[in-house]
Amino acid sequence: MKNLVIVESPAKAKTIEKYLGKDFHVLSSVGHIRSIVKKTKDGTPPIDVANDFFAVYEVDPEKKKVITELKKNVKAVGKDNVWLATDEDREGEAIAWHLCKVLDLPIETTKRIVFHEITKDAITNAIKNPRTVDMNLVQAQQARQILDRLVGFELSPVVWQKVPGGKSAGRVQSPAVRLLVEREREIMKFAGSSQFKVTAIFIHDNQEFKAELNQKFDSEAAAHEFLNSLKPATFTVSDISKTPGTRNPAAPFTTSTLQQEANAKLGFSSKATMASAQRLYQDGKITYMRTDSVNLSGQAIASATDFIKRLYGPDYSTVRKFKTKSASAQEAHEAIRPTDITRETVTSNEYDQKLYDLIRRRTLASQMSAAKLEKTTISIDIQGNDKLHFEAKGEVITFDGFLRVYGGGKDEILPKLHTGDTLETHDITARQTFARPPSRYTEGSLVKKLEDLGIGRPSTYATIIDTVQTRGYVEKGDSEGQPRDVIVLSYNGEEVSRDIVQEKTGSTRGKLIPTPSGELIADFLTDHFTQIVDYDFTANVETEFDKIAAADLAKSAMLHGFYTPFHK
């Protein structure tokens, strides 16, 4: 054995060793190996604020065996032949630095390699282009860890004393709880109102289609009066307008959009999505799953283009380069995509396969042609009523394009009609519809909101959502909703009848709801520690970490700027 490569996860180690061959032995640190001590032996604070926030670290007790094994292997190959191949983000860089410290490796010269997919090409390319540990990234990670520890360390005891059921207060979790509490209060305050919406089923050439009246009625009496006025009326097609339209595919997945879509389409929680993506990444099936870039490598675009042309024909291929909006996103990184686009099945695990399929189809769709549609609007006049008319809307997909693989369209096909055609109807209803309160967040929509506000980063969304639930500040709803009465007036061509039907309202299934202790903690922090739950302030702190990573801001200056007013 000539070289030792250290990675983060045991599953990854096996895959990488296979690609590197017999000159390399690959071992794993099994994630983080050290953390800031809870208490120091001599009673000094674990983080020395006066001494530029110097933090005392200790090896995690359950990692002692791992470290012993790594030390033995480092000794066998010699320090010059050790390669650090932890993940390519801030956390991964910090683990590489901790490994240097614990294994006594020189930080200035130890070889550090990164790759964002576990394929033979990516690994051999990384070995050819080693760098050293990026201390700016490490400082950014340390700043985040120190700050979070200080906030938790100083704020949590206050919360325990003052807030019944308060477990702790976190720098990023607290604004997330506040978001949910604010939304819950908007729902509570919401004053419901109702209107009557009129729809008709028309028939032409034995084909039925639906049309909607261009006005809603505020009262049952007005709706009843309108339906009664239809008794002598005939219905005539007065106008047919057709407009061509196109629909473009979305960008390939980032961490945030993957969590949103897996939640909406597959019902996966953020935590389940990330665990599944992690397994797919470690098995070399997808690229690195923590990214805020929508960029695809030239090679990935070329192989997707080739595959699309072979499978569907050249008309379906449109090369697209997506640009990442966020300034902090690193364009060298890639969106989440399959390492081999031609592979449909990669695992026997049903969950992982479903997620892989979603990632693969989204990547393919991003390099496919726009779908072409024809939107049709038909206006139907009511004899004897100049003000009101019915409208039927439909669309026909004339070329399916990317819809062939991702997000098929709902076609509402209308019959072939001409201006002046008279239509038959046997069913016109006025149904009571209620104004909807703002909707509660799901895990997916909360991730989107946090991202829009600039709170959290790809590596932290799932943790934030998991933590607020574990602490008992938020729970997932499971109610199907409450029944409510709905008035339905029906006109069958001869008379108007009235029915009361029931519908469910206010379902909370899969929605995030703050608990009473969540509401207490959000109010307490909003009243006394405004900054901690302030959205702009929290987002600004994230931007400052990015600045430290880019060497545009000193770690100690950033920490002093936060800590001094916070401590006071």
Active site members: 288
Token pair 């599953």: residue:
11
Q: What is the DSSP letter of 232?
A: T
Q: Which residues are CB-neighbours of 181 under 8 A, at least 6 positions away?
A: 514, 518, 519, 522, 523
Q: Is residue 459 helix, strand or coil?
A: coil
Buried b (16+ CB within 10 A) or exposed e, 221-239: eebbebbeebeeeebbbee
Residue 126 CA to residue 19 CA, distance in Å, equals 12
Residue 234 CA to residue 237 CA, distance in Å, equals 10
Among 87, 90, 95, CA closest to 137:
90
Alpha carbon of residue 406 to chain centroid? 18
Residue 70 CA to residue 105 CA, distance in Å, equals 12
* 350-to-213, 274, 342, 347, 443 alpha-carbon distances in Å: 46, 15, 19, 8, 21
Residue 391 CA to residue 240 CA, distance in Å, equals 10
Alpha carbon of residue 102 to chain centroid? 36
Residue 264 CA to residue 272 CA, distance in Å, equals 13
Q: With 0-12 CB in 10 A as exposed, 13-18 as middle and 19+ as buried, what is 344?
A: exposed
Largest CA distance in the chain: 98
CB neighbours of residue 120 within 10 Å:
13
As beta bridge partners, residue 488 has 431, 499
* 202-to-216, 232, 449 alpha-carbon distances in Å: 19, 16, 42
* 215-to-120, 198, 212 alpha-carbon distances in Å: 63, 8, 9
